[in-house]
Amino acid sequence: MELHIGDKLKKLRKERDLTQEEVAAHLGISFQAISKWERNDGYPDITMLPALSNYFGVSVDELIGMKEIATERKLNEINEKWQQNRTAGLHRENVELMHGALKLFPNNALLLVQLSSSLERLDGTAEEKTQYLKESIAVQEQILRYGEDSEVRGATMYNICFAYEKIGQHDKTVEQAKKLPNLYKARENALVLLQSGEEKRKAAEAALEPLKWAIKTHFSALAEARNDKTILDKTAQILELLSSVGGEKALR
């Protein structure tokens, strides 16, 4: 479990418009020590905590981030229980677990994702499954309204397209899909273009798998639309070529 002293110190110092030098002078230490703590490269000696807490007017518990530590521990416990239930197929129990957890941590992105996933896995009649899916969509829309994690938002923007389609809301499906970044603006492209040397090579290799998936998906759609099986043969050749250069040794 990580301590959060560095982040808390930096926050307290900036809230009071203090420099690292001013804090250091008051405590009789070097400003380099303050800088080190704020970067989380080290922690203050335990004997220094009372002086720091008095200086900033907070408790020692608040200074070392006990609330954050307790929150992290609780979220880890909830996630572990969710994983156990999911493995055992206890999806209804997971829905109840997530509803309870969200009362403690409203709008927590991970909990909302887990709730949405659990709702879509609930069994029942066709009518009940449709209702569960609608509830899942409502949760995903909540993620898009309040979520700040770019990875979670991106995945949700993609997944909700298929959820809309499953309940027959094709117009919403297309509307949402048009908001997604196109292939030119993909993360993999940016990482390849903006890096060099070893990092560029790693980024290029990492991009091959999603590239192969995209080629297979789009060319298969073309083959079906045109009723042309030769496209599949050409696709297989392209994928084989990509696989042959995908290894680390082949790219060097």
The 10s digit of each residue's pLDDT in 164-192 is 999 999 999 999 999 998 888 888 889 99
pLDDT, residue 251, reads 36
- Could you tell me if 221 and 240 lie in one domain? yes
Instruction: Say what the pLDDT of residue 237 is.
Output: 93
Burial of 118 (0-12, 13-18, 19+ CB in 10 A): buried
- For the stretch 37-68, pLDDT in tens is 998 888 888 888 899 999 999 888 888 877 77
**pLDDT confidence of residue 170:** 95
Q: What is the pTM of this model?
A: 0.66
Confidence check: pLDDT of 248 > 90: no
Q: Answer yes or no: do 206 and 117 share one domain.
A: no
**Mean pLDDT to the nearest integer, 110-120:** 95
Burial zone of 165 (CB within 10 Å; 0-12 exposed, 13-18 middle, 19+ buried)? middle
Lowest mean pLDDT among 60-64, 79-83, 223-227: 60-64
Average pLDDT, the chain: 90
pLDDT of residue 3: 61
DSSP at 185: G
Same domain? 133 vs 77: yes
CA distance 11 to 4: 11
Q: Which of 96-100, 232-236, 246-250 has the lowest mean pLDDT?
A: 246-250
Of 64, 88, 106, the one marking the end of a domain is: 64
CATH number of the domain that residue 54 is part of: 1.10.260.40
| pLDDT above 90 for 22 | yes
Domain coverage including residue 111: 68-180
How many structural domains is the chain composed of? 3
Query: Residue 250 pLDDT > 50, yes or no?
Result: no
Are 85 and 57 contained in the same domain?
no
Residue after which a domain boundary falls, among 41, 64, 87: 64
